[in-house]
């Protein structure tokens, strides 16, 4: 899978970028961004949460259990993890984009004088934010930076990042995101690991990438994973992906190629062999039965 954060960093000619430590602000140029997208669907992941405001265009975010159709003048927070982009190549997609690490959110929220509300434990992977006057004013203030020839000082950029987090946290209408912010402050590490794995098992990530999402080294990730799930990561991932593929074949009438892609398998032949070994019949038979039922 393509790492969105790394991909943006590697294309400075396509995106004007302002860096602030491991955080990043970037503006997407519409015509050039559209040219970068070679296909309608692209699978990506990011080890950082990111927040963006859509200046123009449209994309659909497909996650493990839900799809989100995002259009013009929408402000969105996407939690770190993996997803499938559905691109609309004829209209492009222009955004102001902020990558925001967990630790930056935590340290910023610790400066608040009022505590965050309680955590529900269930968080959407993609959250639409309330378009308050304060948030609109923030994005208008950012626009002026990109019209200047010089790059703003990093200390000023860091203040703008903190302003963004605190502005969002000050709006009670952003209840879901505030709950997620609370989890970053208080959630035990084993709960975070379980949540990340259960939300991202159907994407073709490596164990090293899963470890990065869980803020662990590979060896620590494997050890902690076995403590939480009582099995090794590879075996658990295969079982979850096969069960997901079965549901797609039975409930959504997907093609074999689509199911392979959306269940995190490398190719159709690997998927077919694994599926037949697990369920006793090839996926083509399962799909035919579901279509005639």
252 pLDDT higher than 70: no
* Angle at the Cα of 52 from the Cα atoms of 137 and 204, rounded to 5 degrees: 170
- CATH number belonging to the domain at 2-186, selected among 2.30.29.30, 2.60.120.280, 3.30.460.80, 2.60.40.10: 2.60.120.280
Q: What percent of the chain has pLDDT over 90?
A: 51
* b/e sequence 35-45, b meaning 16+ C-beta within 10 Å: eebeeeebbbb
Which among 77, 121, 123 has a CA at the least distance from the CA of 100?
A: 77
pLDDT in tens, 232-251: 999 999 999 999 999 888 87
Handedness of CA 28, 168, 44, 92 (dihedral sign): negative
Average pLDDT of the segment spanning 141-159? 86
87 pLDDT higher than 50: yes
CATH code 3.20.20.140 for 189-293: no
Quote the tokens at residue 115: 């505590």
- Where along the chain do its domains lie? 2-186, 189-293
Predicted confidence band of residue 64 (pLDDT cuts 50, 70, 90): confident
Average pLDDT of the segment spanning 67-94? 88
Predicted confidence band of residue 27 (pLDDT cuts 50, 70, 90): low
Of the two residues 64 and 165, the one the predictor is more confident about is 165
32 pLDDT higher than 50: no
Instruction: Report the DSSP pairing between strands 41-46 and 67-70.
Output: unpaired
């Amino acid at each position: 899978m393509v790492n969105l954060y790394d991909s943006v960093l590697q294309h400075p000619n396509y995106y004007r970028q302002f860096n602030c430590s491991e955080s990043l602000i970037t503006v997407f140029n519409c015509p050039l961004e559209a040219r970068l997208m070679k296909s309608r669907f692209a699978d990506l992941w990011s080890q950082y949460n990111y927040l963006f405001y859509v200046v123009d265009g449209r994309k659909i975010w497909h996650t493990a259990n839900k799809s989100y159709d995002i259009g013009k003048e929408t402000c969105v927070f996407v939690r770190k993890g993996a997803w499938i982009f559905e691109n609309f190549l004829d209209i492009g997609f222009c955004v102001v984009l902020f990558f925001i690490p967990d630790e930056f959110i935590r340290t910023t929220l610790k400066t608040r004088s009022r505590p965050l509300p309680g955590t529900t434990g269930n968080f959407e992977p993609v959250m639409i934010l309330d378009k308050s006057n304060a948030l609109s004013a923030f994005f208008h203030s950012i626009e002026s930076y990109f019209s200047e020839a010089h790059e703003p000082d990093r200390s000023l950029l860091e203040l703008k990042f903190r302003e963004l987090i605190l502005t969002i946290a000050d709006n009670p209408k952003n209840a879901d995101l505030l709950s997620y912010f609370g989890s970053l402050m208080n959630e035990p590490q084993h709960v975070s690991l379980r949540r990340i794995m259960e939300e991202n098992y159907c994407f073709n990530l490596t164990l090293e990438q899963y470890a990065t999402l869980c803020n662990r080294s590979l060896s620590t990730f494997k050890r902690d994973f076995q403590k939480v799930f009582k099995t090794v990561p590879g075996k658990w991932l295969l079982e979850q992906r096969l069960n997901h593929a079965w549901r797609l074949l039975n409930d959504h009438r997907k093609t074999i190629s689509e199911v392979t892609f959306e269940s995190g398998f490398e190719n159709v032949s690997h998927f077919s062999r694994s599926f037949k070994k697990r369920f006793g019949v090839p996926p083509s038979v399962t799909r035919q039965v579901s279509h005639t039922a």
